[in-house]
Structure 1
Amino acid sequence: MNASVENISVIGTGYLGATHAACMAELGFNVIGVDVDPEKIAALSAGDLPFHEPGLPELIRKHVDSGRLRFITDAEYSTVGGWGDVHFICVGTPQQKGGTGADMTYVDAAATGLAKAITKDRALIVGKSTVPVGTAARLSELVAQEKNDGVEVSLAWNPEFLREGFAVEDTLRPDRLVVGTRSEADEAILRQVYAEALGRETPWVATDFETAELVKVAANAFLATKISFINAFSEVTETVGGDIRTLADAIGHDTRIGRKFLNAGVGFGGGCLPKDIRALQTRVSELGLDHTMRFLDEVDQINLRRRKKAIARAFELLDQDIVGKKIAVLGITFKPLSDDVRDSPGLDVAARLFNAGADVAVYDPEGNHNAAKRYPRLNYVDSLDAAVADAELVVLTTEWDEFKKLTPADLDGKVAAKRFVDARHVLPAADWETAGWTFAQLGRKFEE
């Protein structure tokens, strides 16, 4: 493509797509976001998000008003096919129902639909979705088969590395850019798209399809392993004693290791790490490498055991008599600054406590609505005070700032009994114990 890139389409307007569309408009491109859900399109066109992401609603409204950003339903891609220079695929790759592999239905449909719809002389389709290795090569062949005669359509892969709560920053000022292409011309197009970031000397990693696909799942597998690593040591310190935070600090000073993601607690969740490590194991097994990623199964199991440990601590503090006891669960999203409850440890813990017979009151600053859709039987309340009122046990499962700043005085006179399980290991245990609380933390030996 010799002409400059001006028009960009984004297929899929979920978390990744809506963020990418708004940020591409912020970078000066004309952008159309495409989705099959008319309600989602109507909301986005009005500047309303169906999920929580700081800074994104304002950015969307800014560029809908500027005219650089539109959202449409276009099942056949007929509008963008003759308009877009670059088409980003940002649709989901959920875990297969009844399996552990990635469901490629939406990615395949987007690539095929675009190939059939593109009528410009030259266009580039860019995958951003997290996919099994080998997908880009397969889709490249599919696009070549389905494209219209007389047009040149090629494929590239450009994985995303967004952190929920920081997605706008991560898109506009990424810590690295990875592109998998099969031609210098396609790489040059993506250099145009990301010219502003490259002007700030953002690391640019140009590679082949397979490496670009593996980078994202490798990063997520490493982060999941790091979290489960420190939680494995939590199992040790819970048995023999010791300070898991000091242990993490000490090894984190080693620059080869680093301190990030060494926070012991109830483990990881969300829409990426759990499904991605499972999909990676499935894919390498398909490739005949059954033993290569077997350690990720233990990573997954350690993570799930942390939820069981939080529940076990709750039972211990209640002398194994949980039926009818009021328990306040603080935090239901898988992480703070998000409303995402997919595979959330907090929601899992709350649901299991409820199923065991407890009267569970849940409060999360952003996640109650989504959690209620997934597990409506819990009692969702709209404030911390409402959650802890007359509670016989408080369980902290997501480290929102509101909860990290809690002191014993904040709960005095509100709870029915001074019992607390800090499943994220974020509060000063000595302060709570001095104030007369029975206080348990994951990663710390509990002595009644």
Structure 2
Amino acid sequence: MTNDNGEQRAPRISVIGTGYLGATHAAAMAEMGFEVIGVDTDPNKVDALSQGIVPFYEPGLPELLRKHVGTGQLRFTTDIEAATAFADVHFVCVGTPQQSTSFAANLSYVEDATRQVAKHLTHDGLIVGKSTVPVGTAARLRGIVHENLPAGVTAELVWNPEFLREGKAVQDTLAPDRLVLGGTTAASEAMLRTVYAEPIANGTPVLVMDLPTAELVKVSANAFLATKISFINAISEVCAAVGADVTLLADALGHDVRIGRQFLNAGLGFGGGCLPKDIRALMHRSSELGAHSASDLLQQVDEINMRQRQLVIDHALAACGGSVLNRRIGVLGAAFKPDTDDVRDSPALNVAAALQLRGAQVTVFDPQATTSAARIFPALGYADSAATAIQGADVVLVLTEWPEFVDADPREFAALVKAQNIVDGRNCLDGQAWAAAGWNVRTIGRAPVQSASAASASQGAYAFA
């Protein structure tokens, strides 16, 4: 790359789509020293980002954004024509949500973004797909690029999937655990190695492969993680039946290096904007391809995951004597996991809404996601603190394992509620400590723990849950 004076310069980067993935990727590329322009069709989002305001919660991202917007290293625009004229490498980071009528991914956004980049190229460029797509998509996008390129301009389309964890996205972009480059030529691989020179120099491995394999890496990784979660939740049912402790079991399993401890936490199950829609898209695509073993497995994974929500609802019903009609329920947690305000397909909100439909008076609090939750479920009650949410409650549900809930003082909470019943939907509380403070504790795949007074009254007769 050369500047107007014929001097060598670093490649310039455009990022198409400035949602969770795109905004993070754009800020991280600027942090790595590149001039970056982010593109979005939403002018309100562009205005916010241009002022250094992140429209969602992600630790570390606001600081990174303000730093590079302030220096001019990072800019945002709605003008894709100007962005493609400016940049040499174009990262496509738009969403691929589930279709409204099937489990298939909606690819209209990624197709349109690719088409717009190709159409407006003024010089040779590299188009890099980062969106999570069904296998076979990239080959079709190459056809779209070919059909829309201006005369005399060449462009290559390759795939470089993302592996971001919400709550740790900045770290995962600046220091990824692997870089997957799919469908590259020698020239495009060299360009991407230039773009990622910093993490590569710091030891990040680079895996070069064909397009279909690269497309499958992200969805397969998500499917495997989802399977681990559903596996331990299925085993928790066995533990409940025999009085075993699924958390201790998971600890023991986790010492096996072939298995590992991560994603072996029994509880309410997975949610969010990635795992549910990605496993369903893979299920749909596998069925289309006749790979029925994969689609059948993922169907079971999905069903087990959804059953966990009903199990928590059943615990709440049991704690209230079989009915939640006109009972006060305090729900702690709305985000699908801590360190994010993402409430897409949140199991916590699904449970809260289901209990409200059964006649309960439900009040929700989340340290970051209360506002996001209220936009999607406006009929639920919301509080500005955990104490307000559980005031006068007949049962408290811990549905997102935020540290402030895990570390809460059970004696302080006891003074606020009407009845000391708590459902630990994430198996994150010290049940013995809560029971010692007078609480009746219900969990997933572990024996419920009664307060001393309740245990005495029932003479120890207490069924495993």
TM range (shorter): over 0.9
Rounded Cα–Cα distance in structure 2 between residues aligned with 1:424 and 1:288:
36
Rounded Cα–Cα distance in structure 2 between residues aligned with 1:239 and 1:360:
30
Aligned position for 2:318: 316
Contact 1:340 1:367 in 2 (8 A): yes
Rounded Cα–Cα distance in structure 2 between residues aligned with 1:390 and 1:293:
46
Counterpart check, 1:90 vs 2:93: yes
Deviations 1:222-245 (A, max 9, x none): 000000110001111122211111
Counterpart check, 1:71 vs 2:73: no
Map 1:47-446 to 2 at 5 A: 47-74=52-79, 77-120=80-123, 122-446=124-448
Q: How far 1:4 moved relative to its partner?
A: 5.3
Identity %: 55
Contact 1:5 1:86 in 2 (8 A): no
Rounded Cα–Cα distance in structure 1 between residues aligned with 2:184 and 2:67:
36
Q: How far 1:429 moved relative to its partner?
A: 1.4
Rounded Cα–Cα distance in structure 2 between residues aligned with 1:18 and 1:68:
14
SS in 2 for 1:126: strand
Paired residue type of 1:153: A
Deviations 1:342-367 (A, max 9, x none): 01010001000101000001000011
Deviations 1:405-436 (A, max 9, x none): 02321213111111110010011212222222
Rounded Cα–Cα distance in structure 2 between residues aligned with 1:443 and 1:81:
53
Rounded Cα–Cα distance in structure 2 between residues aligned with 1:81 and 1:27:
20
**Runs of 5+ unmatched residues, structure 2:** 3-7, 449-461
Contact 2:284 2:295 in 1 (8 A): no
Rounded Cα–Cα distance in structure 2 between residues aligned with 1:434 and 1:182:
61
SS in 2 for 1:294: helix
Contact 1:180 1:206 in 2 (8 A): yes
**Runs of 5+ unmatched residues, structure 1:** none
Counterpart check, 1:22 vs 2:59: no
Contact 1:239 1:445 in 2 (8 A): no
Q: How far 1:210 moved relative to its partner?
A: 0.7
Paired residue type of 1:24: M
Rounded Cα–Cα distance in structure 1 between residues aligned with 2:120 and 2:387:
55
Paired residue type of 1:358: A
Counterpart check, 1:42 vs 2:47: yes
Rounded Cα–Cα distance in structure 2 between residues aligned with 1:182 and 1:161:
19
SS in 2 for 1:362: strand
Deviates more, 1:140-149 or 1:265-274: 140-149
Rounded Cα–Cα distance in structure 1 between residues aligned with 2:414 and 2:430:
17
Contact 2:247 2:446 in 1 (8 A): no
Q: Number of matched residues?
A: 445
SS in 1 for 2:280: helix
Rounded Cα–Cα distance in structure 1 between residues aligned with 2:112 and 2:50:
24
Deviations 1:231-266 (A, max 9, x none): 001111122211111100111100000001101110
Rounded Cα–Cα distance in structure 2 between residues aligned with 1:334 and 1:81:
36
SS in 2 for 1:99: coil
Deviations 1:255-293 (A, max 9, x none): 000001101110000000000000001111111223333
Q: How far 1:5 moved relative to its partner?
A: 3.9
What RMSD over aligned residues (CA atoms) do the two structures have, in Å? 1.2
Deviations 1:7-60 (A, max 9, x none): 100000000000000010111111100000000001111111111001101111
Rounded Cα–Cα distance in structure 1 between residues aligned with 2:23 and 2:184:
27
Q: How far 1:127 moved relative to its partner?
A: 0.4
Contact 1:420 1:440 in 2 (8 A): yes
SS in 1 for 2:86: coil
Aligned position for 2:11: 6
Normalised to the residue count of structure 2, the TM-score between the two structures is: 0.94
Paired residue type of 1:214: L
